[in-house]
Amino acid sequence: DGGITQSPKYLFRKEGQNVTLSCEQNLNHDAMYWYRQDPGQGLRLIYYSQIVNDFQKGDIAEGYSVSREKKESFPLTVTSAQKNPTAFYLCASSISLDRTNEQFFGPGTRLTVL
Amino acid sequence: GQQVMQIPQYQHVQEGEDFTTYCNSSTTLSNIQWYKQRPGGHPVFLIQLVKSGEVKKQKRLTFQFGEAKKNSSLHITATQTTDVGTYFCAGRDTGRRALTFGSGTRLQVQP
């Protein structure tokens, strides 16, 4: 949907393991975002990037890390330091960060840590 | 920091009834966007409001941006079962580069 792919749709990991969620977009967008959604709650911003090799912490960055080596890709690593990693993770992109552009979301990855 | 609150958290209506969700920000916003997330899906952009007092319509949906640019509303006239989902507002204040999403209002429509 919207040219953004996230895989896998469902992911299971054991507690204490790091896990990397993929996000790829073919929209030629400069800005990309990672959000976390918990049941009955809104979207909370984890990290965002306005351009290759640049990214900024969002509101809940602790326990997460990202990289932006290519324009199309913005993978998110959920580290063992994240205290409550089980959640629905959404990746999004927009033309740029500074303009008031709409965000396009991927289908999401539902992570369950056992 | 910036906070964006939405009320109600949940609303259950009979098909054909109207529905309104309200969005309130603790700070003045430069713009506000609305998204819809169907059950099991991902948020999809509906509309953006930029000007103070702006009103926009999309068929049965009416969006308003407050005069002070700190609140917004989404009104659905004569709801249909296809309106089921969670509606989020998202705004950006002048001191922040990224959007802040509201907590969402989940709409359930009884046929």
**CB proximity B42 to A under 8 Å:** yes
Measure the CA–CA gap between B21 and A35, rounded to whole angstroms: 22
Q: What letters, b where the CB count within 10 A reaches 16 and e where it falls short, cover A27-65?
A: eebbbbbbbbbeeeebbbbbbbbbeeeebeebeebeebb
Q: Does the distance separating the beta carbons of B43 and A100 come in below 8 Å?
A: no
Q: How many CB atoms lie within 10 A of CB B85?
A: 21
Mutate one of A23, A100, A109, A110 to test the B interface: name it (highest B CB count within 10 A): A100
Tokens 């802040």 sit at which residue? B100
B22-48 pLDDT tens trace: 999 999 999 999 999 999 999 999 999
Tokens 């906070």 sit at which residue? B3
Q: What letters, b where the CB count within 10 A reaches 16 and e where it falls short, cover B15-51?
A: eeeebebbbbbebebebbbbbbbeeeebbbbbebbee
Measure the CA–CA gap between B2 and A52, rounded to whole angstroms: 27
Sequence-separated (6 or more) residues with CB below 8 Å from residue A103:
A33, A92, A93, A94, B33, B35, B43, B45, B90, B99
B89 chain-A contacts, CB cut-off 8 A? none
Mutate one of A1, A43, A109 to test the B interface: name it (highest B CB count within 10 A): A43
B69-92 pLDDT tens trace: 999 999 999 999 999 999 999 998
Confidence label for B3 from pLDDT (cuts 50, 70 and 90): confident
- Secondary structure string (H, E, C) spanning B13-76: EECCCCEEEEEEECCCEEEEEEEEECCCCCEEEEEEECCCCCEEEECCEEEEECCCCCEEEEEE
Whether B16 shows a pLDDT value over 90: the answer reads yes
**Residue B93: what pLDDT?**
80
**Nearest one of B29, B28, B66, B34 to B47, comparing CA atoms:** B34
Of residues A98 and A99, the one with the higher pLDDT is A98
Angle (CA) A70-A66-A32 rounded to 5° is 60
**Residue A96: what pLDDT?**
87
Whether A79 shows a pLDDT value over 90: the answer reads yes
Task: Give contacts of A 27-66 with B, CB under 8 A.
Answer: 33, 35, 40-45, 48, 50, 56, 58-59
**Residue B88: what pLDDT?**
97
Angle (CA) B37-A27-A103 rounded to 5° is 35
Mutate one of B23, B65, B96, B99 to test the A interface: name it (highest A CB count within 10 A): B99
Measure the CA–CA gap between A108 and B15, rounded to whole angstroms: 30
B46-73 pLDDT tens trace: 999 999 999 999 999 999 999 999 999 9
**CB proximity B66 to A under 8 Å:** no
Single-letter residue type at B63? F
Q: How many CB atoms lie within 10 A of CB B14?
A: 9
**CB proximity B108 to A under 8 Å:** no
Shortest alpha-carbon distance between residue A100 and chain B (Å)? 7
**Nearest one of A68, A24, A42 to B90, comparing CA atoms:** A42
**Residue A99: what pLDDT?**
64
**Residue B98: what pLDDT?**
87
